[in-house]
Structure 1
């Protein structure tokens, strides 16, 4: 692992690189969840690089991990802005030449918006892990539960180990999702704009979204789409079912012809 700092639009973003550099192999770009950061991917990026032979770039969005903070409240369009304004510049700053966007939760929604609106020729595929395309009562209930755990439980202390500006990280995500105006947030109109191959992964016991999220993407996307459901798995397949998640992604990247290993 190589720790880096990327400068994007005057903001310093924490980043880490695993595996070969972008001029030697395709890059799997990890886009974290609403409370994630580089460190919370744990061993997943290293294992992904070893299994695929690709480079893996993980970065913490502004307000998360060791990245610079943001001003609160976040706009309710924060995922749109990340997808269209920040992510292309992250790829530029890291010299990424061929990419697969691997997003989890909010990060998957960001990847979806990017693929549908930016249409970056560097992006060859999407891995969407527990993506959100609209709000559901089950997800909002879980987000309210997270607020209770943060205010009166152990969640703040746990997150403070990973986020330099922990209140910014938590409130920026939680308060946006629980804003009454966010109830109408919906990405379904973007889905037909996805033409690159997509892999959709979700746990059957996901506490933040139902099968309707993946059903909507599969029904409306314009490119090839594969859906994988994982049993005995909640919202974080890469942590709860790491071997199955890694192997599924490996097959997807291999089918795209992007593995970093020489042909046998």
Structure 2
């Protein structure tokens, strides 16, 4: 058996400070994830009893934004598990958090493309034993575009979509192509190193950073810890170098067959709320008659509602899922 790479050993040693975090191998990449399960499931496991088989219960998968990590869902996972009886999973996407950053890959298996992110999420669920379950996909920003494309490519797996500040247009999913090319070079990495350490998380993400719970003591450190991990800047450069936006809206006729909650902040500085409203109204035109599509705007909130208004987001999510009989 070959020895684990230095990168894997270091990632595991840094991540072990959080006892809830776990690693799983997904397509030869060590992925960092967390699972929240209802307390009564924990009690059964502690008593060495088998978990009840509930085929009607979906699993909930949370997908974070670019330069974020699974930490962004810290206020939502356990409450969602308790309210719905579902298992709730979050993970660090490739390039982010404590998930491994490959330095080489086979031809046709580049892990840093947007399409690879779609397949990675599905393979993660399979590796964790949830491959036969329907999935409630909760995605924020670029995580929402990946969620929609999972529904496009794997519609048989999807239960419903919850989209927070979604980046559905190509121009909203990442930097312009020229910027991507520059950031994907060695000089671009140097720029990223200086800029991210100084400005991450970007104040522009929020309506008011002073309103974000534990911003200085918890949020800022959890964004910046990954900057110190092996191959962070190389991976971000590869992400930009190979970045091709997902064609989400041209295929919206597929994901519109699922219940959708579209939730935005009124002060989203990346995609203006009026643009979100326009996209949603276009979706309504093409939606089937029995479609369950809901649109919510949170006041005094920016691009990341789950961080700036965690309780309000949680209340809306739980209400939506309960009305879907989850």
TM-score over 0.5 for the alignment? yes
Aligned to 2:97: 65
Greater Cα shift, 158-167 or 123-132: 158-167
Q: Which has the higher helix share?
A: 2
Write the deviation string for residues 139-180 of structure 1: whole angstroms up to 9, x where unpaired.
Answer: 859x99x95972572439953314534324544555666xxx
Q: Identify which of 199, 203, 219 aligns with 2:282.
A: 219
2:152 matched to 1:106?
A: no
Structure 2 counterparts to residues 192-231 of structure 1, below 5 A: 192-194=253-255, 195-210=257-272, 211-220=274-283, 222=287, 223-231=291-299
Question: Displacement of 1:104 after TM fit?
Answer: 0.8
Q: Identify which of 49, 58, 77 aligns with 1:26.
A: 58
Q: Identify which of 306, 309, 314 aligns with 1:246.
A: 314
Question: Displacement of 1:216 after TM fit?
Answer: 2.1
Q: Identify which of 117, 125, 131 aligns with 1:82.
A: 117
2:223 matched to 1:167?
A: no
Structure 2: gaps of 5 or more residues: 1-18, 42-50, 184-190, 202-219
CA distance in 1, matches of 2:23, 2:173: 36
Aligned to 1:15: 33
Q: Identify which of 154, 161, 168 aligns with 1:126.
A: 161
CA contact (8 A) 2:64 2:140 kept: yes
TM-score, length-scaled by structure 2: 0.65
CA distance in 2, matches of 1:111, 1:174: 20
Q: Return closer, same or farther for 1:255/1:115 CA change in 2, 3 Å cut-off.
A: same
- What secondary structure does 2:21 align onto? strand
Q: Return closer, same or farther for 1:154/1:136 CA change in 2, 3 Å cut-off.
A: closer
CA distance in 1, matches of 2:192, 2:277: 26
TM-score, length-scaled by structure 1: 0.79
Aligned length: 248
CA contact (8 A) 1:31 1:102 kept: yes
How well do the aligned residues superpose, as a CA RMSD in angstroms? 3.4
CA contact (8 A) 2:168 2:248 kept: yes
Question: Displacement of 1:40 after TM fit?
Answer: 3.5
Question: Displacement of 1:124 after TM fit?
Answer: 0.7
CA contact (8 A) 1:19 1:49 kept: yes
Q: Return closer, same or farther for 1:42/1:103 CA change in 2, 3 Å cut-off.
A: same
Question: Displacement of 1:6 after TM fit?
Answer: 2.2
Aligned to 2:198: 153
